[in-house]
Structure formats: structure tokens, C-alpha cells
Amino acid sequence: MRRWSGKIDMRKVLATLLFATLVQMISDVVSENVLSAGVRRAISIPMLVVISGCVVALLVLALRRAHQGEPVTTAVDTPLPQLRWDPAPSTLFGRDDEVREAVERAAAHGVVAIVGQADIGTSAIGAEVVRRLPVDEHYRLDMRSRSSERPEEVRVVASRLLGSFGLDVPARDDEASLKDAAHRLYDHLAGRRTVLFLDEVSLPEQVGWLLVGGRDTTVVIAGEQAVAEAVRTDEAVHVSPLSTEDGARMLLAELGREPVDDNEKRMIHRLAAACLGRPRAIRDVAIQLKGDWTVAELAAAIESTEDTPGHVFRVRVAVLAKIRETLSPHAIRLMDALASLPVTELPPAAVATLAPSGDAALRELVDRDLVRYVPPGRYRMPLEVRWAIRQSVRAGSVRGRPLARLARYYADLAEARALELTAPDTVARASQWFQAEEALLLELVRHPAPFPDVCRIADALDGWHGREQRTADLLAVADALAAAAERENDAGVRALAAVRRSTALRMAGRADAATAGLAEADAKKVPAVAARAQLAWALLHLERSDPDSLQTAERTLRRSLELLPHGDLAGQACVRINLGVVRLRQHQPVKAAEHLARAAELATDAGDWAGRAHAVELLGVASWRRGRYPEAVNRWKQALGLYRELGEDVGAARCLAHLGSAALSGGEVAGLVRDDTPRALDWAEAAAVAQPLLLESLWLRAGQPADAPGTTLVKGYLAEAARRGGHPGLTSFRPAP
């Protein structure tokens, strides 16, 4: 139904149905044989007037839509890209050898990289190769960066690719984590012949981690020359610029005619040569020749244009100058604003912040191919257009204002979505939004947008990445925030960035680096930052777990509690939770329960449902330590329910591990875990209860490092469950030594 709705004007359909109903009712009212006189009087006047009005209104709206064309969509939330793809047949000029060679190498090796200079046409060749391969499913990932100034980072590529398939994103960007992510992706695609088309690749490291050999998946890569380093020599196909002769043939095919005489034929070859073998530039020339320019005029305009550096070719500068003359003032302002931004793809609502004139300016740019629609629900200015506009003097005067407006828009949205992450009924929408926008948000933090908005965006990203336990992303945001603080010479924010960086390093298992970074942070001047620094120190001490470190952690946590603002209930709950952890490690479950019960109350008052879930989970641990097994099981089930509602896989995985290990303890506890009934189960029955819980716990940890302590522990429990149940084949995992 959703696929049809984009092709059918529902207003026309509804108007038609209402019109048919109206005709039928008129017929019925007139007919003496169908309705009684009383009924005819009841419906003949008021109902016919209302339905007639509806029909007229809907028909007017339908006609207006037909007159204006399809409106620019105004949806605020943008879903993740849908990678399933059906390549359409295309006509290529001068590329037969490259296509044939690429198909042969892909079939022989399961991977091929089609590489060449930027804008040389590798994407079109790759699409044709994919179309010719005998497979069942095609997936395409457009790897163009959300930044206009740097290629997409590897961790962002991995997040986009795995997230689009509904798989866990790797928490780290080290080699082992990325390799594990690649294997999980290929396991997901196994069982059907698949092509994964990685398009618009800039760097070899963007795709190198994926080349681990999927059983049923062929990888086709299209990108710049450097990408050849990611594959073997016999897996690369190098693409050269189109020859002038092939370029002229393509231009004439785009025009749909032959040259009128030898002079025009020479002019056509001159235009093709000016395009430097770039197919897209040839299409741009064809569009202009279909408009107001003659072949001779356009050739003269291009040849009179000064040479430009980099990838900005004279043909594009000349074409853009001509197009600019035909645009409205609103479209020109929007065009210059988009070209000045450090980010590329934007949803319509974000574009609207740059163009208060409404959809008309955006539609004008789309019609002239200066901006392109990118499914699902975004608009992108091609880099070659952006480069040409930035050569214009007029573009330089607008670079600050559009960035400020865009940063304000995204700061407001990011703050709202961060709050939604804490509520069960909004967390799914907020998570999807952050997955789709996180790369763009980080790019805004990295640029000199208004500092308060940069800080708000960084805060939201820190909350999102902390929730997902993604240490590489936490480090990236902390570094970007530190650079922004240096630009503004803000000591408080600089200290906050250092504390966040230390926290990310600790979570990544780099305690020494975290300690060194935290020692350099000057966090004493701002109480809220000082409180967070004390919490960071306490967590570092908790990592050691020896008696002296635990005592130091407790003192540090109490100092943090004193420094926190009175109204920061969520912060107080966090500190109380960690005080409870200290007491648990000191084997004092009663005192731990006091802190954790208070933490649960504070988190509830603050609306921090994730904090409440964590407190309840640890109350279950305290209950278990006190021998209150039914109470412990009940608390873990409560916490598991909360974590599931919030979509917090990390917390849910911990609760499943608690319940699975509790079931392995045997006796009546296994019955409590199974169905809340204190019924004694034998070892095999208890193992059968534990195994699915532990397997799900391990599955939810898929994005975490394989050697993480929690993951190792669950693998050990699984091995024990398999031994007790007499089914060692149920799991291939082995406990760590």
C-alpha cells in the first residue's frame, strides 16, 4: 500500500468515489421505487449539499496539485536508507571493455573494485555490472559523505551499513570489532545470492574491513582511484576518462540528433573535450543546448572562462553562470546557502530553515538539477555544483548565516530527541532519528556554528552514544567539543570535554589513558563539571575493585553528590547507583540496597526510566546476595521489561544474563525464572530454562567486543548450561580461562 501511495493521488481517488456516491444518491432520491418519501426528504438537501462540497474541494486540490507538480515533502523525521535496490538498464558509451572485465572479475573472485578519478563514471559502470550478475537480491550503499569537506569515516560507514540491516552497530572501530561486524553482516545475508554494491567510495579503509569473504555475497565497489588499494590487483578495474570521440557520441545521443554540418560537428567535439571525459559534465552541456544556448555560444562561453583549480571544470562554471541568470532571487539565495554549508544531505524541514520562501526555491533548484532528491526524504547538492558555486564571489558573503540557522534548527531537534530517548513511548522514534542524523550532527559540532548550539548538539550526541555504549563515537564527539571550546576559549566546556573523553577511554578499556586525560582536566571552576569529574574518578577507582580503591571511590562519589545541583535528580540517581555498586563490591548488600532504593526514587522523579531500570536491576543483585532469590528474580524481570520498553539492549542483555545464571543455580529458582512458580527442576530442566536467556543475552551483545568481560561471562554460562543439559552442540562458545 505504501508503494502505491506515492504513485496515486488519493485526493483524486476520494473525489471520484464521493462523486459516484453522489450520483447514486441522486438517482436513489429521484427513484420512487427505492426510498420512501420521508427518507428522500431527510437526505436530499443536507447530505447532497455536504457531499457536493467535498467533491468540489477535493477536485480543486487535485487540479492544483496537477498544475504545480509533486510538492516537496515536508516530513521532519528521516528514516535510515533502504538498501534494497533494483538497477535499471542504462546506455554507456565507450565502457564495454570495463563492464565485461568487471563482470568477469566479480564472478571469479566474489569482489571487484571499479576505480578512477572523481566523477569519471565508475558508479554507472558499477550499476551495469550489478545488473548483469546472476543473483537474487541487490543492495546498494551510497557512501557519499554527510560532510562536504571530508570522506565518511569508517565507523560511520559501519554504522550506516549494519544499522540499515537492523544489525547491532560495532561499539569500537578497531580491526577486530569491524571484522566481527562484517561476519555478522554476511551471516545475515547468507542463504541467498546477493550483490552488495558499495558506491561512491573515497578511501580504501572505508571498504577494506568488509572484504573478509561472504559465502553468498558478491561485493562490487565503485569509487576513486585510491580505493584500488583495498583489493588485489586482479580484483580492480581501472576506468579512464571518456575519449573525445565517445564524449561527442554521448552528447549527440543526449541531444537526440546529428550535427547539422561539419562546423557544428567540430563544435560538438570541442564541447566534449572541454568536459574532460566526465559523463555528468556532458549531460550538463546537453541540458543547456536543449535550452537557450546554441552550440557555438556555449563553446565560446566555456573557452572564455578562466581555468579553475581542483575538480571545478570550466564547463561547470560557465553552465552555472548561465543557469544563475534564470533563477529567482530566492532560489539563488538558497543555492548559495546550500553550497556554503559543511554538510550535504538535508531533509526538507532543514532546507526550509535556509529558505523562508517555502518549497518554491527548492523545487526550482531540483528542476535545474542543481539539487537532487536522495531517498528516503533528503536533498543533496552534488559536489561538482557545490565546487562551482564556491568559486563565485557572491557565495562567500553567506557562509556564516546559513550555518547558524541550521545549527539552531538541529540543536532544538537534538535536545528534544535526547529527552525522547528516556521515555518508552518515544524512544523508538528518537533512536531512528539519531541513527539517521548522527553523522550530520557531528559535522555541525566540528564547525564554527554558534557555540551554545554546538554544545547542545554535543550534549545530545553524548547521551545517545553513551546509551548505545559506542566508545569510538563518544571519543569523536568529545574531541569535536574540545576543539569548539578552544575556539571560544571556554575553560568550563574544555574541562567537560576532557571528562567525557576520559569516560569514553575508560569504557574502551584504556584506563591508563583515561586517568592521564582526567588528571589534566581543570574541572574545579564549574560545580556541575567538577561533579562529573569526581564521578569519572570514582568509576576509574571502581575498575580496580581492591579495598583501598573502593574506599576512594566511595569518598569521591560523595564529593560528587555534594557538588551536583539540587535539581539534578538524574545526576543524583546516577551517583547513588554507583554508591550501591561500591557497597555490593564491599559485600554489604543491605547498605547497597539503601542507596539503590533511593536511586530508583530519584530516577522516577526525574523521569529517567533508564536510571530506574538500572537501579532496579542492581536491587536484584543486592537481593540475591541476601539470599532473597524470589525477590531478586522479580526485580530482574521488572528491569528487563523496562529495558525492553526503552530499547536498551545493553541493560536487557545484563538482566538476561542474571536470569540465566540464576536458573543454572537449580532448585526452585529455575522454576521462578521459568514461570514465577517455586517448583524444583532437575539440572537438565534448569539448563533448558537458562539456555534461551543466555543465547539472547549474547545476541544482544553482538556489537560489543568479543573479549568484553560480560560477553566472556555469558559464554561461560552457556557452556555450563550445555554440559548440564547434555547438549554441547547447542553452543559453540567456550568459557574464557
Helix (H, G, I), strand (E, B) or coil at 698: helix
Helix (H, G, I), strand (E, B) or coil at 213: coil
Residue 284 sits in the same domain as residue 225: no
Residue 155 sits in the same domain as residue 225: yes
Q: What's the pLDDT score for residue 23? A: 41
Report the alpha-carbon angle 146-649-698, nearest 5. Answer: 115
Report the alpha-carbon angle 184-190-196, nearest 5. Answer: 80
CB 273 within 8 A of CB 243: no
CB 656 within 8 A of CB 643: no
Q: In a 10 Å sphere around its CB, with 0-12 CB exposed, 13-18 middle and 19+ buried, how is residue 48 labelled?
A: middle
Q: Where are the alpha helices (DSSP H) in 88-235?
A: 96-109, 122-132, 154-164, 175-189, 205-208
Measured distance CA(93)–CA(367) in Å, rounded: 26
Residue 32 DSSP label: T
DSSP states along 21-44: HHHHHHHHHH-TTTS-HHHHHHHH
Q: What's the pLDDT score for residue 83? A: 86
**Strand order, beta sheet including 217-224:** 137-142, 194-201, 217-224, 111-116, 236-238
CA nearest to 423, candidates 167, 656, 612: 612
Sign of the torsion formed by the C-alpha atoms of 295, 296, 297 and 303: positive
Q: What's the pLDDT score for residue 259? A: 87
Residue 626 DSSP label: T
CB 423 within 8 A of CB 468: no
**Grid-cell match 521532519, residue found:** 76
Residue 191 sits in the same domain as residue 122: yes
Q: What's the pLDDT score for residue 76? A: 41
Establish if 360 belongs to a structural domain: yes
Measured distance CA(615)–CA(577) in Å, rounded: 6
Establish if 389 belongs to a structural domain: yes
Establish if 610 belongs to a structural domain: no
Q: What's the pLDDT score for residue 433? A: 94
Sign of the torsion formed by the C-alpha atoms of 521, 522, 525 and 530: positive
Please tell me the total count of domains within the chain: 5
Establish if 536 belongs to a structural domain: no
Residue 264 sits in the same domain as residue 146: no
Longest dimension (CA), the chain: 99
Residue 221 sits in the same domain as residue 130: yes
Q: What's the pLDDT score for residue 705? A: 78
Q: What's the pLDDT score for residue 308? A: 60
Q: What's the pLDDT score for residue 182? A: 94
Measured distance CA(400)–CA(396) in Å, rounded: 9
Establish if 609 belongs to a structural domain: no
Phi, psi (degrees; rounded to nearest 5) at 244: -60, -35
Residue 320 sits in the same domain as residue 331: no
CB 725 within 8 A of CB 684: yes
Our CA dihedral for 623, 625, 630, 633, rounded to 10 degrees, sits at 80
Residue 667 DSSP label: B
Provide CB contacts within 8 A for 429, sequence distance 6+: 77, 417, 420
Establish if 426 belongs to a structural domain: no
Residue 230 sits in the same domain as residue 250: no
717's enclosing H/E stretch is helix 709-725
Establish if 50 belongs to a structural domain: yes
Helix (H, G, I), strand (E, B) or coil at 236: strand
Of 208, 238, 268, the position where a domain reaches its end is: 238
Helix (H, G, I), strand (E, B) or coil at 219: strand
Beta 378-380 vs 236-238: how paired, if at all? unpaired
CB 403 within 8 A of CB 341: yes
CA nearest to 736, candidates 565, 714, 641: 714
Q: Which domain holds residue 669?
A: 648-737
Residue 309 sits in the same domain as residue 190: no
Q: What's the pLDDT score for residue 214? A: 76
Residue 342 sits in the same domain as residue 320: no
DSSP states along 52-115: HHHHHHHHHHHHHHHHH-SPPP--S--PPPP-B--PPP---SS-HHHHHHHHHHHHHHSEEEEE
Cell of 433: 532519528
CB-side neighbour CA atoms (13 Å) of 103: 16
Phi, psi (degrees; rounded to nearest 5) at 196: -105, 110
Q: What is the CATH number of the domain that holds 340?
A: 1.10.10
Measured distance CA(700)–CA(469) in Å, rounded: 12
Establish if 87 belongs to a structural domain: no
Of 335, 366, 398, the position where a domain reaches its end is: 398
Name the stretches of the chain with pLDDT < 70.
1-81, 306-313, 392-400, 725-737
Residue 268 sits in the same domain as residue 320: yes
Residue 47 is which amino acid? Answer: M
Our CA dihedral for 665, 667, 669, 673, rounded to 10 degrees, sits at 90
Q: Please state whether the peptide bond connecting residue 46 to the residue before it is cis, i.e. omega within 30 degrees of 0.
A: no
Measured distance CA(314)–CA(304) in Å, rounded: 9
CB 278 within 8 A of CB 116: no
Q: In a 10 Å sphere around its CB, with 0-12 CB exposed, 13-18 middle and 19+ buried, how is residue 415 labelled?
A: middle
Cell of 292: 537557450
Helix (H, G, I), strand (E, B) or coil at 378: strand
Measured distance CA(473)–CA(713) in Å, rounded: 26
Of 398, 414, 445, the position where a domain reaches its end is: 398
Q: What is the CATH number of the domain that holds 225?
A: 3.40.50.300
Residue 7 sits in the same domain as residue 29: yes
Phi, psi (degrees; rounded to nearest 5) at 379: -130, 135
Residue 9 sits in the same domain as residue 49: yes
Our CA dihedral for 283, 285, 290, 296, rounded to 10 degrees, sits at -150
